[in-house]
Amino acid sequence: MEHASMLKLSEVLTTLDMSRAAFYRMRSRGQGPRLHRLPNGHLRVRRSDLDAWIEGLAETTV
């Protein structure tokens, strides 16, 4: 897995212009990009997963 393609949660929140609380509310409803928990407990999101999730949002609103 290429490390550069993994985003920190703070980078995802900046990209989405969303607060951490709003992100976790969305996740509790079963929405949002797929998260990966690293062995150290930190969360990461693959850039490709985030891009696909955003693209899926665009498709459902058209």
Q: Rounded distance, CA 24 to CA 1, Å?
A: 25
Q: Rounded distance, CA 59 to CA 13, Å?
A: 21
Its domain, for residue 48, covers 3-61
Mean pLDDT of 27-49: 94
pLDDT exceeds 60 at position 36? yes
Q: What is the pLDDT of residues 13-22, one digit of tens each?
A: 999 999 999 9
| Of residues 38 and 58, more confidently modeled | 38
Structure-token pair, residue 52: 């696909």
**Structural domain count of the chain:** 1
In what side-by-side order are the strands of the sheet with 36-37? 6-8, 43-46, 36-37
**Entry pTM:** 0.80
Query: Beta-carbon neighbour count of residue 52 at 10 Å?
Result: 13
Q: Where are the alpha helices (DSSP H) in the chain?
A: 9-16, 20-28, 47-61
